[in-house]
A and B are shown apart, each in its own frame.
Chain A
Amino acid sequence: MRGVALTRRAPLWLGGLAWLAVVGMGLASLAALLSRATLADAAALWRDPYLMGVVRFTLTQATLSTLASVALALPVAIALARRPRFPGRRALLRAMELSLVVPTLIALFGLVAVHGRQGWAAPLWRALTGEPAGYLYGLSGIVLAHVFYNLPLTARLLLQALERQPEPNWRLAAQLGLTRRALWRALEWPVIRRVLPRLAALVFTLCFTSFAIVMTLGGGPRATTLEVALYQALKFEGDLAQAALLALVQLIICLSLWALALRHGDATQLIAGSGRRMPLGRWWRRDAQGLSRYLDAAWLAGLALLLLPPLAAVVVAGLGGVPELLSRGSSLWPAMALSLVMASVAGIGALLVALMLLVGSAWLQRRERGGTAALMEGGGQLILVIPALVLGTGLFLLLRPSLGGGWQGYALVVLVNACMALPFAMQVLRGTLFDVPVAQRRLADQLGIHGVARWRWLVWPRLRRPLGLALAYAMTLSLGDFSVIALFGSPSRPTLPMLLYQQLGGYRWQGAAATALVLLVVVVAVFSLLERVSRRLPRYRQSLYWPGGAESHA
């Protein structure tokens, strides 16, 4: 019997272990820096008017960016859920996945090519307003760039939540002929309400810690975020204490927000879905006909207009450099291989830790210990609010005596990348893990199906698709990462983003644009491949019940 008890508690142990590792690492690296600060430093910091201005601006731009991203993502997600089938839907989803992982410099290039003073949209803007297009510089530009980054992510995750709505609910709604407003109240809002606070917190944190975009598009030092001040302190002044204090300010602000989000995004009333998606076909949704068709078309066209032109600009710029890259670019293939290996390890690492945390939190939740459960889940988000620069430097200080060779540098980069991808993996996975319907769960309990078998037959079939998406996000995030690897340096063998920056440093614009294009292609390939792999049907065929129901529409 002891064996069974141990197995039953295993989720808690797993979760606890992961929590300790992640939180311990985050706090230890912060502490390594903080240990060099004094109380006097903290007091001086608080009275610094420059810094207060920086905090105010950081909050303003992050709030505006979050509001814009989330408010626009809602109708987009609903439109996408309502239109499970239209030409180009799959391509649009791919593009949505891309935007988050495009390296900042590339996104900036694309945004400038489209929205800049000489951009593709400039003549249109001039025709409409009679003014030259200056909206890319200043607060409007920052918000635009942040919406470009975060709206697709938000909409993508909202869509995933909407699609997990139990199928019988939709059948009932169709039978009752629910109107738009009733559908929203009965089906859509309850799911959205559950994920929205966390999503908004995630987006807010991303915007809050945004750095290069804010500086480049902000127009001047008026647009300074805490990250800029932190970078300045850590790199230019070599002032570790100041950097740690700034990181602490950032941590406190973002953590209080997360506490709020975790309280309101109540995870206790998880509706157990069947795991089947809503059947295809317009007759299931009365609200999908009539005027809403034009409305949805407008939202989706808007999304496409936001996303595709900047990406297209990158592709166009890159195509010109491909011949040069292929003929001369002996660094390209090794760089791609290195990037892929590092991203795979970081992605799988992030996934494992995310699962451990979620399993632990679910275990706690089932035992009505919601507070502890939220705390366990929150641990995964902690890394998001500790700047990578601080995490990296702190770890570096902690490990210093034993840190020598190049491979340790790579391992450290992978570790930090995995931590950075963790919040995204958790965002995709949370919920899906515990969606096993009550009836099935009871049946499994009665039959004594526990441990591996329970995973294999109950959880795994439900988990594989989100798992694929989570891995794709985690992998591509570290694929596109430059900040961390630049911090630790590398013995002359570059990753793809490093190669790109090297090319830029050497005036190789064409080659750099081509490398960016290759990076985009790799990201698309990773998403497509993982989607394909995770789509394979589980052994029992859903199509026996619902003709066409097992067909993918993602």
Chain B
Amino acid sequence: MHRQAIAGALALAALLGSAAAQAEDTLTVYTYDAFVSEWGPGPVVKQAFEAQCDCRVRFVALDGGVGILQRLRLEGEGSAADVVLGLDMNLMASARQSGLLAPHGVDLAPLSLPVEWSDDTFVPFDWAPFAFVYDTQALDDPPTSFEALIDAPDDLKIIIQDPRTSTPGLGLLLWIKHAYGERADGIWQGLQPHILTVTRDWSEAYFSLFMNGEAPMVLSYATSPAYHMAVEDTDRYQALEFDEGHYLQVEVAARTRHGEHPELAREFLDFMLGSEFQNTLPLTNVMYPAVDLGEALPDVFSKLIDPEVYTFPPQQVHRHRREWIDEWLRASTR
């Protein structure tokens, strides 16, 4: 009974709160929580788009790209989402397979990515290579390849994330697979003595462990040092450029097939590649923008490593992910 009372009270509050918004169209965007936070790109993006579209933007913050896709699949055709923003390349194939997304119809000419992009459903909005970030005060002579890391003394520890639960974790798995193919198994076995622990997600690895000085190297993004340099004003944390090249993370958005405002959604995807949206990304999302910002790109980004990058085609990842994770499990528990 009390549940109905709660529901009633909440409904009333929601009605009062949204009464003002009823007049205009509302574009619903499913995204991840860091995007909509006070420090993320969300607030700026919302304000800028609302100024041009004569509509309201409603962000629904979910638990990462995986959470967005899961929610979309659970809701199916009844989903309230007009736009999903924050999937990554490795989720593209399953997202496409759901049949819930529509072609974007956006001109991709402004794109400036390190890889070719011609997908008709997904529009990339930012990218960064995965990389190990290291503490320059704790490590004088850091390894510059997986093989050098394997050969390093056993007390050189790294913190990584689990490919079963974390996006960078899966990124590392694909990175090693791409660089070493059939030999990936051996690389993983060689790395075992150096792995301090495998965390559930990036926050635990970076915050609870790396920032506490537990290990001098952590799996993160090549762009992470940009935040430390630009906002915290310290050069202490730097990314390592590996000889094998780096695996690329690309974040994408798409519009839904059954959304109420398909036109508005297309307009939003267009806006996403414009300078107002893209300018906010480098220091809020700490990623490279998907278009060439020229002078507007913060200076610290020129101090980052500039490695060779690559990815598997999304379809290939989709087909082999389970098998590769099992392979990793066997190599790591042997």
Q: Which residues of B lie under 8 Å from residue A117 when comparing CB positions? A: 157, 196, 214-215
In contact, B198 and A235 (Cβ under 8 angstroms) = no
List the B side residues contacting A329 at CB < 8 Å. 38
Partner of B3, one of A217, A415, A492: A415
Chain A proximity of B219: nearest CB distance (Å)? 14
Contact status A218-B58, CB under 8 Å: no
A116 to B284, CA, bound (A): 31
User: What is the CB-to-nearest-CB distance from A342 to chain B, in angstroms, rounded to a whole number?
Assistant: 10
Chain B residues with Cβ under 8 A from A404's Cβ?
Answer: 80
- Asked if A502 and B33 sit within 8 Å, CB to CB, the answer is yes
Interface residue ranges of A487-524 to B (CB < 8 Å): 487, 489-492, 494, 498-499, 501-509, 512
Pick the contact of A216: B18, B62, B204 (CB < 8 A): B204
* Residue contact B6 to A503, C-beta cutoff 8 Å: no
Task: Evaluate contact between B70 and A221: CB separation under 8 angstroms.
Answer: no
Residues on A with C-beta less than 8 A from B3 are: 349, 411, 415
Q: Are B62 and A489 within 8 A (Cβ)?
A: yes
Evaluate contact between A502 and B208: CB separation under 8 angstroms: no
The answer to whether A228 touches B164, judged by C-beta atoms less than 8 angstroms apart, is yes
Within 8 A of B (CB), among A395-451: 396-397, 400-401, 404-408, 410-411, 414-415
B37 touches A219 (CB 8 A): no
Q: Could you tell me which residues of chain A, from 100 to 131, have a CB within 8 Å of some CB in chain B?
A: 105, 108-109, 112-113, 116-119
**Residue B211 is within 8 A (CB to CB) of chain A in the complex:** yes
Q: Which residues of chain A from 454 to 498 have a CB within 8 Å of any chain B CB?
A: 486-487, 489-492, 494, 498
Is the beta-carbon distance between B67 and A486 smaller than 8 angstroms?
Answer: yes
The answer to whether the Cβ of B132 comes within 8 Å of any Cβ in the partner chain is no
Q: How far is the CB of B106 from chain A (nearest CB, A)?
A: 25
Chain A nearest CB, measured from B176 CB (Å): 15
Q: Please determine whether B34 and A505 come into contact, CB atoms closer than 8 angstroms.
A: yes
A216 touches B164 (CB 8 A): no
A residues in contact with B231, CB < 8 Å: 507
Q: What is the 8 Å Cβ interface bit string for chain B, positions 71-110, against chain A (1 contact, 0 not)?
A: 1011100101000000000000010000000000000000
Partner pick for A236 among B38, B58, B165, CB 8 A cutoff: B165
Please determine whether A109 and B208 come into contact, CB atoms closer than 8 angstroms.
yes
Stretch at the interface among B9-17, B247-255, B261-269: B9-17
The answer to whether the Cβ of B63 comes within 8 Å of any Cβ in the partner chain is: yes
Q: Are B7 and A411 in contact (CB under 8 A)?
A: yes
Interface status of A8 (Cβ within 8 A of chain B) = no
Interface membership of B42, Cβ < 8 A: yes
Closest to B200 in A: A215
Count of A interface residues, CB-CB < 8 Å:
72
- B45: min CB distance to chain A, Å: 12
* Contact (Cβ within 8 A) A506 B37: yes
CB neighbours (8 Å) of A393 from chain B are 74
* Whole-angstrom distance between the Cβ of A322 and the nearest chain B Cβ: 16
Which chain A residues border B58 with CB–CB below 8 Å? 491-492
Q: Does A352 contact B (CB under 8 A)?
A: yes
By beta carbon, the residue of chain B nearest A332 is B38
**Which residues of the other chain, A, contact B42 by a CB distance below 8 angstroms?**
492
A296 to B61, CA, bound (A): 50
B206 → chain A, closest Cβ, in Å?
8
Say yes or no for A232: interface residue by CB 8 A criterion: yes
Please, how many angstroms separate the alpha-carbon atoms of A494 and B10 in the complex?
16
Does B329 sit at the interface, judged by CB under 8 A?
yes
Interface centre among B37, B207, B332 (most CB of A within 10 A): B207
Return the contact of B14 from the options A221, A407, A505 (Cβ within 8 A).
Answer: A407
B39 closest partner in A (C-beta): A506
Q: Would B329 and A221 count as touching, CB distance under 8 A?
A: yes
Task: Report yes or no: B203 in contact with A505, Cβ–Cβ below 8 A.
Answer: yes
Please tell me if the beta carbons of B67 and A410 are within 8 angstroms of each other in the complex.
no
Q: For residue A345, which residues in chain B have a CB less than 8 angstroms away from its CB?
A: 6
Of A50, A222, A235, A490, the residue contacting B70 (CB under 8 A) is A235
State which of A231, A328, A330, A502 has its C-beta within 8 Å of the C-beta of B165.
Answer: A231
8 additional A-B pairs beyond A132-B155, A222-B333, beta carbons within 8 Å, are A109-B212, A220-B333, A221-B162, A329-B38, A396-B74, A401-B78, A489-B30, A502-B34
Closest 9 pairs (CB-CB, A-B): A505-B34, A502-B37, A407-B14, A407-B10, A486-B63, A489-B62, A504-B203, A118-B213, A506-B39
Interface pairs (18), CB distance under 8 Å: A105-B204, A112-B212, A117-B215, A118-B213, A211-B200, A217-B197, A221-B198, A231-B164, A234-B70, A235-B165, A328-B38, A397-B74, A411-B3, A489-B63, A491-B58, A501-B34, A503-B39, A505-B33
